[in-house]
Amino acid sequence: MISDHPPAAASASQITEGRLARRVGLFDAVMVVMGGIIGSGIFINPYVVAQRVHTPFLIVAAWAAGGAIALLGAFIYAELAAQRPHVGGQYAYLREAYHPALGFLYGWVLLLVIQTGGMAAVTVTFARYFLDLTGLAVSQGTVALSALLILTIINCMGVRLGSRVQSLFMLLKIAAIAALILCGFWFIREPQTMGRPFLDRAPSFGLLTAFGSAMVPVLFAYGGWQTANFIAAEVKEPRQNLSRALLIGVSGVILLYLGVNIVCVRALGPVKLAGTQVPATEVMMLALGPWGARLIALGIAISTLGFLSQSVLTAPRVYFAMAKDRLFFRSVGYVSARTRVPTVAIIVQSAWTAVIAFSRSYEKILSYVVSMDFLFFGLTATTIFVFRRRERKDGGETYGYRMPGHPWTTALFIAACWLVVLNTIYTEPRNSLLGMGILLLGLPVYLLWDWLGKPRQS
């Protein structure tokens, strides 16, 4: 039975989340989903895939396969959003399915590694492109800090304003990607071959491992849709709108990503694509000359700023939920009475991002991100098994979307995520172990917060 009414039981954080305002509609939610995925990577990463597989068919197939896995993830998170439309997204699912400690560990690495490390790198990337485009005589750090400060202020002024600004950036990103695709098809009259051979070697285990290696940067490029679930408590009719936003947003990104990669392969060919670290710039140079290169540089700057805007908007809701569960500083759970947003949580994340950016430690942190991110993707997907088992046991109602093909499709997504983790551990054991060390350091911190948060008997 499908119902739009929430379950009777609710945790402490679910009860207190009513102070947040539901002001994000379907369109803005779709833009949040797409904005969490599309950063600067799609303009650059195609060359990494071309270095690992060497025919047009295999290159495009890797991006298509990555899109299919991302869509499986979107269906999983759509079901979770419909079943538990609460603040915090992955944090809440892990906490309720398993143990508050697991939810805390996710929030711990999100703040210290996953979110802020990525934000710091994107902030610096924006500053570089901005200075190249404008030629202003200011330092890169000043531009980076100014961008972060402006977006922090905007998001502290309210979720509606923050989501509208994010939507504007996302529309500009779509325009930049569409311009790349259209110019690549329209102005480049002598395309490289898109035909045979389909494979760069005979079918073998070596071909399989090469294709798997190519999938790692592809899956990383498709990551980010899960952050939309962080703001579930601020989405209007989240059981419907957030689920729809996930499916529409991820599908839209798949189309854009496939378009970019087909254009890159068509314009440059596999060999030239593998030999350049700026494929989008190369395509626009062929299509429009130096003016085209500056146009795509502007698109990359806008894309990085839009990704940063989405990050400032979404992730602080996890730290807010942790504070409400008494697993973080109580002040982080503060919600402004006027703007109805967790302003302290937003400021804490931006401040830590600035520290990482100025210390330039983000380059090391980014090497930890892949293993940590996909570890928790897989763990979060397993919560569907737990929630469905409880649902059957309690004879409860079913809410909204259901994962098609479950349990096989869910298991496929989990396997894909954890294969990425294993591959990262194999290829970068030192960085992966450091990331795991940071994760495990969260256990004594959790025990401390849990002890401090328990009521004392007089």
Rounded to 5°, the CA angle 346-332-328 comes to 125
Is the Cβ–Cβ distance between 381 and 70 less than 8 Å? no
How high is the pLDDT of residue 327?
92
Nearest alpha carbon to residue 413 among 106, 80, 118: 80
* Cα–Cα distance for residue pair 349/107, rounded to 1 Å: 12
How high is the pLDDT of residue 10?
40
Per-10-residue mean pLDDT for the chain, 458 residues long?
Answer: 37 48 87 90 89 92 94 92 85 94 95 89 90 89 94 92 90 94 87 70 82 85 88 86 92 96 92 91 92 92 92 93 92 89 94 89 71 91 94 72 89 92 81 86 93 68
Our CA dihedral for 35, 40, 42, 46, rounded to 10 degrees, sits at -160
Fold of domain 20-452: Amino acid/polyamine transporter I (1.20.1740)
HEC sequence for 81-145: HHHCCCCCCHHHHHHHHCCHHHHHHHHHHHHHHHHHHHHHHHHHHHHHHHHHHHCCCCCHHHHHH
How high is the pLDDT of residue 12?
40
How high is the pLDDT of residue 456?
55
Rounded to 5°, the CA angle 426-378-315 comes to 105
